[in-house]
Amino acid sequence: MNRVMICTLSAILSGFFGSYIGGQITLSLNRETCQNQPWGVNEICHLWVTPKAIWQGSTTGLWTGTMLGAFCSGLVTHQSRE
């Protein structure tokens, strides 16, 4: 497999992984804001916070994971010229 294919696949895979991890982290951080509410309000707060948190964290994680994956795989597959 050539270098471009390895970098592309690595960037895509790390982007998806970063998207998942970023969504989970942001969701857990934003759900903490609902913890001090009574039970009914707590459930409504979770419904309100969840979509925005997942979207925001997934988008950030996707971008960051893709950039880091491409950079790291570029470093690993670098061929020095002599």
Write out pLDDT tens, residues 36-76: 888 888 889 888 888 988 899 999 999 999 999 999 988 88
pLDDT band at 32 (very low <50, low <70, confident <90, very high): confident
What is the model's pLDDT at position 1?
66
**pLDDT, average across residues 19-29:** 92
CB-based contacts of 47, cutoff 8 Å, min separation 6: none
pLDDT band at 13 (very low <50, low <70, confident <90, very high): very high
Cα separation, 4 vs 35, in Å, equals: 47
